[in-house]
Structure 1
Amino acid sequence: MIATGDSFIARRIPENDQRAKSIKDWISGADVRFTNLEITTHQKEGYPSPFSGGTWAMAEPSVLDDLKYYGFNLYNWATNHTMDYLQGGLLATERELDARGLIHAGAGRTLAAAAEPRYVDTVQGRVALIGATSTFYEASLAGDPTPHIKGRPGINPLRYEEVYYVTKSEMATLKQISSNTHIDANEMLNRLEGFSVEGGQDELLFSGKLFKIADRSHRVRRPLKKDIERLTASIQAARRQADYVIVSIHSHEMEGMDKNTPADFLRDAARVCIDAGAHTIFGHGPHVVRGIELYQGRPIFYSLGNFIFQNDSVSYLPSDFYQKYGLRTDANVADGYDVRSDFGKKGLGVNPYVWESIIAKLAWDGDDLESIELQPIKLGFEQARYQRGWPELSDNVEVLQRIKELSRSFGTEIVVEGKKAMVVCK
């Protein structure tokens, strides 16, 4: 299996590009070749959402031909960008994926379609892919039909419950602020009128967040039970229909402001998926690499970073984008990118960790994981924003060392040898 992170592809591969050929050749030996599709592909066919995943992600459908050129045969497309152009953009992207015979999971015309396993048959065995995302706006949720109402296109969600624990004195302060500012007046009225459930004596819904009293201040997030049940049901079905089961989870959530550290609920969800029968978890989302965990002998990649990242090359953006940055709606994308980055002084473009990543190669012998090789890639950090973003095989051991350190907290040992790294699997 080959696993890559986010493919936010907005441009076509240059003709005779040796970087692409080298990666294509390196990938081609694998039976399963996975990437995460983080862009919609259509001819402006959907209405722009009032909210986006950061950039309203849209590209010409022909970029899918370039991903196919690399050799990818499995795609997750449940991300925070799936619904950037609402249902019209989703349906058009699905049409373009299907027209090319690309196997994709995580989004669809109904919740059942978004959650179901999708299969690729190889000479070495049949492999299932199940996709989900924890990062999305509520309007992105797929919905199932009833006997009278049709379903809703959208993503397969992995939601989480969130509780903030505070001390008694901190709770008293929150209650005073709530009383003085009427920040929770609607919620209080709903409780009085029976439209919302009354909370316990030691808890408070403050500005839409649930607070409870504890000895110390902290936050706890847990996967939403019904989403975990849907995920595990898909895994258990796939386990009976395939030799291997891959779960792909797109998650930007983190601990504090540390992008390198996965959220507590994501760690819980990933382990539950392994317990249910998944062979591996391919994570992505924060645009940087995260650590690798071997749980029950099976790998959890909390983030594979970027494979292609061209969020400053999207050709067309809606008025919402320009208004967000105080520009007139007749501005152009170059104006928007200039202002968003403060003329190249801030944002993802100035973070070198965004522009170096890895490709993971997993070898299996039946259910047993034999090896994991990590191949570094670079995406052109020092290039102009309209040039960077293409992956290139690299000898950058710094990204390997960083993954090694990030994996220590999970008890995972990684050996860096020369220009590659190997995860100690046994």
Structure 2
Amino acid sequence: MKKLFCLILVIVMLIPASIVSAAGTTTQAKSKDKPINLVFAGDILLDGYVGNQIDRFGNLYPFKKVAPILKKADMAFANLETPVSIRGKAADKTFAFRSKPDTLKGLVYAGIDGVTLANNHILDYGQQAMLDTITHLKRQKIGYTGAGRNIDEAFKPYVQNINGKKVAVLGVSRVLSDNSWIAGKNHPGAASAYTMEPMLTHIKKSAKTNDYTIVYIHWNQEFADYPEEYARTMAKKMIDAGADIIIGSHSHTLMGIEYYKNKPIYYSLGNFVFNRSTRGGDKTLLSMMVHVEIQGSKITSRITPVKIIQGQPNLMDKKYNKEIIAKLNKLSYNAKIDANGNVSKK
């Protein structure tokens, strides 16, 4: 027995280190090639009618029906269209929102990992309330991008390590209520997309330092069905700069999908947790979640239609899903959506 043990030991010692190393490398490569699953949702408001619903039914209420889907993703991300604070003075505008800090518990419950703050409501109650929002997000361990104490903070992407890959989301806005809302060198505010620079430089930087870069942008006209021409041009320039996926918001309506260099552009996901708009009508209640799967250089996506009922996104029946898919096929450019919500290039 002792001789047999010694023989086995000698054989093990004679195995080339390269074989052991290669086996380890193969295992590591397989690990890095695991699919990465992301889910994106549209505008989230926790004030107004939704705020009243939260007061009645609790902080978790807005996300009860969709939390199981969001929680399954490696990363779930949305647009937080409200400052979260008890301080500040309302801006002189038609709609000024401010949500209670405890309402963020709903996002935690739903498994939302991060939010973009680059939108035309984040400074509704001034710089202090915007900075309070960041503080409250940090306390709840929710990531953010798109706003900060200065321009560098505002353009800093939210980055999450998933299956050995760095996935970055960069939040920017081409809809801000005033020039004073734009983040500067020593000025708190939001990341502006009114000019290509420094936005494109930050996208290039992210593309170099991260494996995948998603740009979540606030743009286009409210209640419109189609994007502005500038948005289609800008989306392509962002992809040329290194963006892998473009996700849009602000119109409060669903917009179509376009491919450029085999990369998807979702012009608007519509509302997600929001009030019904009197001006926009019932189409502001039509929504969807976008599922993105990344595996190596392959990026695929599909949509899950939802409908906002009493401030709460709901999964619906086959008839509703068929209607939303038909609508998106009509609104899209060189993209098509099949009966199961899978999106592909025509």
State the TM-score bracket (shorter-chain normalisation): 0.7 to 0.9
Q: Distance in 1 between matches of 2:182 and 2:265?
A: 25
Q: Which runs of 5+ in 2 are unaligned?
A: 1-37
> How high is the sequence identity, in percent, across the aligned residues?
28
Instruction: Determine the structure 1 residue equivalent to 2:255.
Output: 290
- Deviation at 1:244? 1.1
What residue is the counterpart of 1:158 in the other structure? 193
CA distance in 2 between counterparts of 1:107 and 1:17 reads: 25
1:245 partner amino acid: T
Match of 2:244 among 279, 287, 291: 279
Match of 1:402 in 2: 327
Tell me what 1:424 maps to.
344
SS of residue in 2 equivalent to 1:36: strand
**Per-residue Cα deviation, 1:74-126 (whole angstroms, up to 9, x for no partner):** 21111010111111111111111122221111111111211122211223521
Alignment match of 2:313 (pick from 380, 391, 398): 391
What CA RMSD, in Å, does the superposition of the two structures yield over aligned residues?
A: 2.1
Q: Does residue 1:142 correspond to 2:65, yes or no?
A: no
Change beyond 3 A, Cα 1:19–1:94: closer
Deviation at 1:373, TM superposition (A): 1.5
Q: Relative to 1, partners in 2 of residues 1:124 and 1:352: Cα closer, same or farther, differing over 3 Å?
A: farther
Match of residue 360 from structure 1 = 290
Correspondence list, 1:7-22, <5 A: 7-10=44-47, 11=51, 12=54, 14=57, 20-22=63-65
Shift of 1:157: 1.0
CA distance in 1, matches of 2:60, 2:137: 24
Counterpart Cα distance in 2 of 1:239 and 1:40: 29
Q: 2:31 matched to which residue of 1? A: none
SS in 2 for 1:83: coil
Instruction: Work out which of the residue numbers 76, 79, 83 in structure 2 matches 1:33.
Output: 76
Mapped contact 1:19–1:392 kept (Cα < 8 A): no
Q: Are residues 1:373 and 2:302 paired?
A: yes
Q: Does 1:228 align with 2:228?
A: no
Q: Quick one: which amino acid aligns to residue 157 of structure 1?
A: S
Map Cα deviations across residues 2-38 of structure 1 (whole Å, 9 max, x no partner).
0111011223383597983441111222112110000
Which letter maps to 1:347? R
| Aligned residue-pair number | 299
Q: Answer yes or no: is the 8 Å Cα contact 1:47–1:88 preserved in 2.
A: no
**8 Å Cα contact 2:192-2:199 kept in structure 1:** no
Q: Which amino acid aligns with 2:284?
A: V
- Post-superposition offset of 1:311: 7.1
* 1:109 equivalent among 149, 168, 173: 149
Alpha-carbon distance between aligned partners in 2 of 1:16 and 1:103, rounded to the nearest angstrom: 19
Question: Counterpart amino acid of 1:139?
Answer: S
Cα deviation, 1:347-391, whole Å, max 9, x if unaligned, reads 24xx1111111111111111211x3221111112xxxxxxx1111
SS of residue matched to 2:121? coil
Q: 1:284 and 1:82 mapped to 2: Cα distance?
A: 14
Q: 1:362 & 1:39 partners in 2: Cα distance?
A: 25
Higher helix share: 2
User: Is the aligned partner of 1:24 residue 2:64?
Assistant: no
Q: Which moved more, 1:25-34 or 1:271-280?
A: 25-34
- 1:309 pairs with 2:239: no
- Seen in structure 2, the aligned counterparts of structure 1 residues 124 and 403 have a Cα distance that, compared at 3 Å, is farther
In structure 2, distance between residues paired with 1:399 and 1:98: 36
- Offset at 1:274? 0.7
Aligned partners of 2:336, 2:216: CA distance in 1, in Å? 23
Q: Distance in 1 between matches of 2:330 and 2:316?
A: 19
> What is the CA–CA distance in structure 1 between the aligned matches of 2:202 and 2:41, rounded to whole Å?
23
TM-superposed deviation, 1:425: 4.5
Pair 1:124–1:33, CA change in 2 (3 A): farther
C-alpha contact (below 8 Å) 2:59/2:104 kept by paired residues: no
Change over 3 Å in CA distance of 1:73–1:19 after alignment to 2: closer
Greater Cα shift, 11-20 or 74-83: 11-20
Structure 1 residues 86 and 17: CA distance shift in structure 2, 3 A: closer
Partner residue in 1 for 2:279: 347
The Cα offsets for residues 137-186 of structure 1, whole Å up to 9 and x where unpaired, read as 22211111xxxxxx111111111xxxxxxxxxxxxxxxxxxxxxxxxxxx
Normalising by structure 2, what TM-score?
Answer: 0.81
Runs of 4+ in 1 over 6 A off after TM superposition: 16-19
The superposition leaves residues 263-305 of structure 1 with CA deviations (integer Å, 9 ceiling, x where unpaired) of 1111111111111111101100010000011111111110000
Q: Distance in 1 between matches of 2:108 and 2:272?
A: 14
Q: What are the superposed Cα offsets for residues 390-424 of structure 1, whole Å, 9 maximum, x if unpaired? A: 111112122221111100xx211222x2xx42112
Equivalent residues in 2 for 1:113-128, closer than 5 Å = 113-123=153-163, 125-128=165-168
Q: Distance in 1 between matches of 2:61 and 2:252?
A: 24
Residues 9 and 310 in structure 1, CA contact (< 8 A), matched pair in contact too: no
Q: 2:344 is aligned with what amino acid? A: V
Opposite residue 411 of structure 1, the aligned amino acid is: N
Q: AA paired with 2:182? A: L
Match of 2:14 in 1: none
Alpha-carbon contact 2:43-2:80 (below 8 Å) kept: yes
